[in-house]
Chain A
Amino acid sequence: MYKLAMHRLGHSALLIFGVVTVVFFTNFLLGDPVRVMLPASTPPEAVEEFRRQMGFDRPILVQYWDFISNAAFLDFGDSWWQKSPSLEIALRPFPATLQLGIVAIGLASLLGIGIGLFAGARPGSTWDKLATSLSILGVSLPLIWFTLMMALIFSVWLGLLPTAGYGTVGHMVLPVVTLAALPLGRAVQITRASIIDELAKPYITTARSKGLSERTIILRHALRNALPPIVTEIGWESALLLTGYSIIVESVFGWPGFGFSLYHAILTRDMPVIIAMAFVAALVVVLINIIVDIIYVIADPTIRKK
C-alpha cells in the first residue's frame, strides 16, 4: 500500500514535469515572444535590445534550464503584462472555478449515480429508456452551442437569469447547468452499465437468496462493487471540467475563473502565465487522481490487503 502510494507520487511528479516542459517548448513554436510583447512599430535595434534584456537571445536549452531550475522552486517568472508572479496570477481565479466545479460535479454525480442506479435496476423498462436517451442527449451536446443557447434562452429571451457575471446564486445557475450536462450524462451511462454488470454476478444471487430487498441489494451490495468505474469517470470529468470545459463556459458567462484567465492569457500570449496555468492544471489532474485512488480504497477495502 505504502509502496504503491510512493510509486503514484513519483509518477505524478514526472507527469507535472512533462506537462510543464512540453508547454514551455510549444510556446516557442507559436512565434517570437518579443514580437508579441512589443508594438509592431518598434525599431529593430530596440527589439534586439529588448530580446537581450529578456534573455530570449540565449540558446533555447539554456533558457529551458534557467526556467526549469526556477520552476522547481515554484517560480515561473513574472507575467509579461501584469508584472506580478505568474503562479499567483494562475492561482488567483482558481477558487471561483472550484466553486462552479464542485457544485457542477456534485450535482452531476449525485443525480447521475441516482438516475443510473434507478435505470440499471430495471433495464429495458420505459424509465430506463428515458434515462438512457436523456444521457445520450447530455453527452452529445456541443458545449459551445449549448452554452450559447442557454444564455440566449434564459438570459436574453426569458430574462430569468443574468447573462454574465459573478456574485449571486443567480449568476451561478447557467454556468453550473452547462458544466454539469455532460458529466451528468456520462455518470448516468457508466453507473447504469456498471450496476447491470454487478447485478448479474453470483454474489447478487446469494444476496437475493438471503431474502434481502432489491433496494438493499443494490445499495448495500452492488453499489460498492460498481463504484470503481463510476469514480474513475467522475474523476476524469472533474479534471476536464476544471481545466477544459471551464474555458468555454467561463468565457461565455464572464465568470472570473481559471478558464476565463487561461483564455485571456493565451490571447495575450502571456507565456509565463500560460506555463504557470498548465502547471496548476496538471496539479489539479494529479490531485483528482489521488482523490480517486483514495475513494477506490474506501470502496474496496481489500485493495489495502493486496
Chain B
Amino acid sequence: MPAPAIATKASGPEAKSAERPLLSVKDLNVEFTVGNNTVHAVNGLSLDLRKGETLAIVGESGSGKSVSMLSVLGLIPQPPGKITNGRVIYDDKDLLSLPSGELRKIRGKEISMIFQDPMTSLNPTMTIGRQITEMLELHLDMTPAQAKKRAIELLDLVEIPDPSTRFGQYSIEFSGGMRQRVMIAIALSCNPKILIADEPTTALDVTIQMQIIQVVNELRAEMDMSVIWITHDLGVVAGLADRVIVMYGGRAVEIAESEDLFYRPQHPYSIGLLNSVPSIAEPVAERLIAIEGIPPDLSEIREGCAFRPRCALARDICKSDTPRLEAKATGGQAACFASPEEVARLAEGSSAGQSDASAQ
C-alpha cells in the first residue's frame, strides 16, 4: 500500500482519547425534502473531536460530510433540510436544541467555519476589513478602532502582504488563494476552539492548496485549536490529519488514526479510496484504479450496507443488515461484516494489482 506522498504531517497531541471530547456528534440524521423526494443525506453519524486534534472527514460528493458539519452549526437551509435526529454536544450544551440567539454566540466565536469556494464565500460589496471587524465588534465587543487594528494583525497573521492597504479592498481585488487566507483570518478572528474547514482547498491550485494547509496548521498549533477538515482528497488528509473518518452514504464507515488508515485500512471502501489515489512515489499506472459502480441513491432508506453494490467482499448479510462501527484490532473502528483477514487480503491484493499494473 503506497502512502500518498505529501509531507509535513502535523504532529498532533497523543493519547488524549481518555479526555472528554471537545465536540460530540451523536446519531445525527439529516434529510432534504424537495416535493415528494426525500434524500437521507446523513444517517446516524456519530463522531468525537478531541481537543487539539485535526480530524479529517473524507468521502466522495454526496457522502454527507459537508451537510453533517453544516448541521453542527445549524447552517443547512431549513427547509428543505431537516435534522430529524441527533445531538451535537459542545461545552455541555446540545447545539441542535439551543435557542438561535445562544447558538449565534457560539458560531464564529467558539466554532467557526471556512468554505470551499473563496470566490463566492466573501461578500462582494463589503470591504475585506469590514468583514473581519464585524466579527470582532460582535463577539469581542471591540470598538471600531480596536477592531481595525486587530483585523490588520489578523491579515498579517495569514500572511497577506501589505495588510493595511488590503484592509480597505474588496474581494474582487484578491486572488483565490488570498481570498481563502481572508476567510481564514475571518474564521480565526475570535480565537475559536474549533475550526471546521469545508473543503477549503478544493477550488485552489495545488501549490496554493499546500500554502493554505500550512497556514491552518501553523495557526492551529499557535492558537490551540481543534480542526475538522472536510475533504475528498486523501493527499490533504495525509498532510495534516491526526484521525480520519471515512464517510459513505451518509454514515461513518471507518474511523482510524490517519497512519492506520493509510497502512491498515479496515473497510473495503477505504481500500478503494486509497487505491484510487495516484502515487508519485511509484511509476504512473496506465489507468488510475477507480471504485466500480456509482455512489448510492440516498432518496430511499435501504436495509443493508450502502457500499454493498460496489464491494468486492459483499455477502448475503450485507443485503439485510446494516453494519455498525466496531472496534478493530488496529485500534480504529470500521463498519463491515467481513473478517479482518479478508479485508487485509483485499487491501494486499489490490495494492499488488496496482504494482503489477505500474510495472508494465
Contacts and interface: CB of A to CB of B under 8 A. Distances in A.
Interface of A: 124, 200-203, 205-213, 220-221, 224-225, 299-302, 305
A213 B104 contact: yes
Given A301-B170, A302-B170, A211 B122 contact: no
A209 B125 contact: no
B125 to A, nearest CB: 5
B140 to A, nearest CB: 11
Nearest to A203: B123
Contacts of B135: 210-211
B290 interface: no
Interface string B42-86: 000000000000000000000000000010010101010000000
14 contacts: A202-B115, A205-B70, A210-B107, A210-B135, A210-B138, A211-B105, A211-B109, A211-B138, A212-B104, A212-B138, A220-B126, A221-B126, A300-B125, A302-B172
Contacts of A208: 73, 75, 107
B266 interface: no
Contacts, number: 76
Interface of B: 70, 73, 75, 77, 79, 104-109, 112-113, 115, 117, 120-126, 134-135, 138-139, 170, 172-173, 183, 186-187
B83 to A, nearest CB: 15
Contacts of B115: 202, 205-206
Contact of A299 (B73, B125, B138): B125
Contacts of B104: 211-213
Most chain B CB within 10 A, of A202, A211, A302, is at A211
Nearest 5 A/B pairs, CB to CB:
A211-B108, A211-B107, A210-B108, A202-B120, A209-B113
A208 B138 CA distance: 13
A202 B121 contact: yes
A301 B169 CA distance: 10
B121 A203 contact: yes
Nearest to B74: A208
Given A209-B75, A212-B138, A202 B117 contact: yes
Given A301-B125, A302-B170, A211 B106 contact: yes
B134 A212 contact: yes
A212 B109 CA distance: 11
A275 B190 CA distance: 65
Contacts of B138: 210-212
Contacts of B170: 301-302, 305
Contact of B183 (A124, A200, A206, A220): A206
Given A302-B125, A302-B172, A203 B108 contact: no
A203 B120 contact: yes
A203 B106 CA distance: 19
Given A211-B138, A305-B170, A201 B112 contact: no
A213 B77 CA distance: 15
Given A305-B170, A305-B173, A210 B134 contact: yes
Most chain A CB within 10 A, of B113, B123, B139, is at B123
Nearest to A304: B170
Given A211-B107, A212-B104, A220-B134, A206 B172 contact: no
Nearest to A124: B79
A269 to B, nearest CB: 51
Nearest to A206: B121
A209 B73 contact: yes
A170 B115 CA distance: 56
Contacts of B112: 209-210
B124 A225 contact: yes
Nearest to B116: A202
Nearest to A207: B123
